[in-house]
């Protein structure tokens, strides 16, 4: 409940909002583009002061380029320490709007809401809305200037809001309150890493509070069923495509209804780009050998990835439903043992699939391959933005009100293992939850009253925690993270919050559609090269010029 992944959301999402910066002829308009130079970014970012109130069972491991593992806990502390001292709020009352993927709890007579608000010393009138249609609610609120006092805005909803231009007009500039050492008066917020804050900076000023941040940022990985591997005598020591192909042959038995692979490509190459080392959808640009910008669609890597994936389809190593592009039952195919290897977000490793009824085999054991490259060379993985959601305070709030809500945010950001975290996530002991096997467990009342709401306003960085009693999952996931963070690199334009002109917004969908057809063998690779040529003509080359302008004005952020 306290993990973004448990709501089925992505671990990491690009903050690339679409703002109409250029007209059809490419001439500048008087709109702010959102982009921030590295110098201005360093001035706006808060200082980083790691928290010390809670000690994890498995400590953080430092990796490359500022990446670290998430702290890991095998159980909740028996005597949870406090991370906040003194009064929090000063009696203010505020409206707060957040998305919610799940049933909306009752607002009146809700013991959970009452318990948290009492602890906060302020009243947050929570207004959760359906996360699936949340983006449709935002433009009218912006247009009518009827925004609540505090609101969560996922990065994937910013393109419709011309956010680079709107953010300064609608929301409070938090730079005077949080930049540099000023954040130290809010210790739990100061414990969020710099990677978490970068995409909350627009036009050189800090506006957003990061939600569900992580410093071990990776979109996903390749999972395998260790129990099936053990039964087949298969080795998970995969270091190249040749090793993966060999597993395809070894683990596929179509007559028995078992295939080695599910879709290994992901939507818009979300997973396979790691193997073939071309950019992600968040950071699609790199420099070619001549020092010129090259988009991921133009890379040799994506051509190789498409050819290889289609080859696996033709060889019969991929589940027929995956070949039919049916992703709805992908998790069930893995749980039931119909496929032995799949691609998924790291949140799938939370232990929820250990619950009774999900995995058919009591010996079910999900593991993830160590990072490897297609060619067997040293692997690399892109450092993503530390947060894909941010909350914002209304610009109409007074200085006193902003300070009160930052105090509230500091409480909501209390780390896993603290007394405050338990209150924010589980409410009233004995009413909303009880402790079982050293971990909090919701009561029947708590299950009805509690939903992820306050956490979408402010929350601590991610922690690897036990779900459904699966302590071994925590150990395995933490060990995998420790290996993964060794290979992290910062991509071009990292952390610059680049806002693309809206005229480029339609360029991506035809490419995504073509990827599906080619990766599944429906169309030849020539269909992809034709699509790339058309992408360039329809605006890809102009988009490159736009980013060349960003490089000239702001640098690359690398």
Does the residue 495 lie in any domain? no
Same domain, 227 and 304: yes
Same domain, 528 and 393: no
Reported as a single tens digit per residue, the pLDDT across 488-508 is 999 999 888 887 888 898 999
pTM: 0.84
Helix (H), strand (E), coil (C) string for 465-523 = CCCCCCHHHHHHHHHHHHHHHHHEECCCCCCCCCCECHHHCCCHHHHHHHHHHHHCCCC
The pLDDT assigned to 7 comes to: 32
Same domain, 455 and 476: yes
The pLDDT assigned to 466 comes to: 80
Q: How confident is the model at residue 428 (pLDDT cuts 50, 70, 90)?
A: very high
Among 433, 457, 489, give the residue marking a domain's end. 489
Select from 351, 320, 346 the least CA-distant residue to 335: 351
Does the residue 499 lie in any domain? no
Same domain, 233 and 206: no
State which residues form the domain around 410.
4-217+386-489
Most confident of 16-30, 215-229, 534-548: 534-548
| Rounded distance between C-alpha atoms, residue 508 and residue 470, angstroms | 40
The pLDDT assigned to 20 comes to: 30
* Tally of domains in the chain: 2
Same domain, 259 and 203: no
User: Within 10 Å of residue 288's Cβ, how many Cβ atoms?
Assistant: 10
Q: What is the side-by-side order of every strand in the sheet holding 93-100?
A: 123-130, 93-100, 150-154, 389-393, 209-211
Q: How confident is the model at residue 384 (pLDDT cuts 50, 70, 90)?
A: confident
Does the residue 494 lie in any domain? no
Task: Specify which residues 382 forms β-bridges with.
Answer: 489
Same domain, 303 and 372: yes
Same domain, 256 and 184: no
Reported as a single tens digit per residue, the pLDDT across 248-283 is 999 999 999 999 999 999 887 788 998 998 988 889
Same domain, 53 and 176: yes
- Inter-residue contact 532 to 525 (CB < 8 Å): no
**Sequence-separated (6 or more) residues with CB below 8 Å from residue 269:** 278, 280, 281, 296, 302, 305, 515
Reported as a single tens digit per residue, the pLDDT across 286-341 is 999 999 999 999 999 999 999 999 999 999 999 999 999 998 889 999 999 999 99
Reported as a single tens digit per residue, the pLDDT across 528-543 is 999 999 999 999 999 9
Same domain, 159 and 231: no
Reported as a single tens digit per residue, the pLDDT across 391-426 is 999 999 999 999 999 999 999 999 999 999 999 999
Most confident of 65-79, 112-126, 132-146, 372-386: 112-126
Select from 104, 161, 110 the least CA-distant residue to 127: 104
Which CATH number belongs to the domain containing residue 397 in this structure? 3.40.190.10
| Rounded distance between C-alpha atoms, residue 32 and residue 393, angstroms | 20
- Inter-residue contact 310 to 520 (CB < 8 Å): yes
Concatenate the DSSP letters of all residues of 411-450 into one string.
Answer: HHTPPTTSHHHHHHHH-SBTTTEEEETTEEEE-HHHHHH-
Q: Is the pLDDT of residue 31 over 70?
A: no
Pairing of the two strands 123-130 and 93-100: parallel
Same domain, 518 and 481: no
The pLDDT assigned to 553 comes to: 87
Residue 527, classed as helix, strand or coil, is helix
Among 489, 513, 541, give the residue marking a domain's end. 489
Same domain, 348 and 442: no
% of the chain at pLDDT higher than 70: 91
């Amino acid at each position: 409940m306290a993990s973004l992944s448990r709501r089925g959301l992505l671990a990491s999402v690009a903050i690339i909002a679409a703002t109409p910066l250029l007209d059809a002829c490419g001439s500048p308009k008087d709109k702010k583009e959102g982009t921030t130079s590295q110098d201005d970014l360093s001035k706006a970012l808060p200082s980083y002061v790691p928290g010390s109130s809670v000690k994890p069972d498995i400590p953080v491991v430092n990796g490359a380029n500022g990446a670290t593992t998430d702290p890991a806990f095998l159980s909740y502390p028996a005597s949870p320490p406090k991370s906040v001292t003194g009064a929090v709020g000063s009696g203010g009352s505020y409206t707060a709007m957040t998305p919610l993927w799940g049933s909306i709890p009752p607002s009146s007579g809700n013991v959970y809401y009452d318990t948290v608000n009492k602890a906060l010393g302020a009243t947050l009138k929570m207004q959760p809305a359906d996360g699936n249609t949340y983006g449709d609610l935002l433009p009218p609120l912006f247009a009518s200037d009827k925004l609540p006092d505090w609101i969560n805005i996922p990065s994937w909803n910013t393109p419709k809001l011309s956010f680079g231009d709107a953010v300064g007009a609608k929301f409070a500039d938090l730079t005077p309150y949080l930049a540099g050492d000023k954040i130290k008066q809010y210790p739990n917020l100061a414990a969020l890493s710099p990677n978490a804050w970068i995409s909350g900076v627009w036009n050189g000023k800090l506006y957003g509070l990061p939600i569900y941040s992580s410093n071990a940022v990776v979109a996903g990985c390749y999972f395998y069923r260790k129990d099936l591997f053990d039964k087949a005598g298969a080795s998970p020591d995969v270091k190249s495509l040749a090793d993966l192909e060999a597993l395809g042959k070894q683990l596929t038995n179509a007559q028995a209804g078992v295939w080695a692979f599910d879709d290994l490509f992901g939507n818009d190459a979300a997973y396979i780009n790691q193997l073939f080392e071309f950019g992600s959808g968040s950071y699609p640009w790199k420099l070619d050998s001549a020092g010129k910008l090259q988009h991921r669609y133009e890379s040799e890597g994506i051509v190789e990835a498409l050819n290889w994936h289609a080859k696996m389809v033709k060889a019969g190593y991929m589940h027929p439903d995956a070949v039919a592009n049916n992703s709805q039952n992908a998790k069930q195919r893995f749980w039931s043992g119909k496929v032995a290897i799949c691609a998924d977000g790291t949140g799938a490793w939370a232990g929820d699939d250990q619950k009774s009824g999900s995995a058919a085999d009591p010996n079910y054991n999900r593991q993830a391959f160590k990072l490897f490259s297609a060619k067997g060379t040293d692997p690399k993985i892109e450092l993503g933005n530390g947060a894909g959601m941010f909350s914002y305070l209304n610009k109409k709030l007074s200085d006193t009100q902003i300070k009160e809500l930052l105090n509230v945010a500091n409480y909501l950001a209390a780390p896993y293992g603290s007394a405050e975290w338990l209150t924010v996530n589980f409410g009233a002991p004995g009413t909303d939850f009880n402790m079982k096997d050293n971990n909090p467990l919701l009561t029947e009342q708590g299950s009805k009253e509690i939903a992820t709401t306050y956490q979408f306003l402010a929350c601590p960085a991610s922690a690897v925690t036990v779900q459904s009693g699966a302590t071994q999952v925590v150990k395995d996931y933490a060990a995998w993270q420790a290996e993964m963070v060794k290979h992290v690199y910062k991509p071009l334009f990292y952390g610059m919050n680049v806002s693309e002109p809206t005229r480029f917004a339609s360029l991506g969908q035809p490419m995504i559609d073509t990827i599906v057809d080619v990766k599944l063998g429906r169309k030849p690779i020539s269909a992809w090269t034709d699509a790339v040529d058309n992408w360039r003509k329809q605006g890809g080359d102009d988009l490159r010029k736009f980013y060349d302008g960003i490089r000239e004005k702001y640098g690359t952020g690398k």
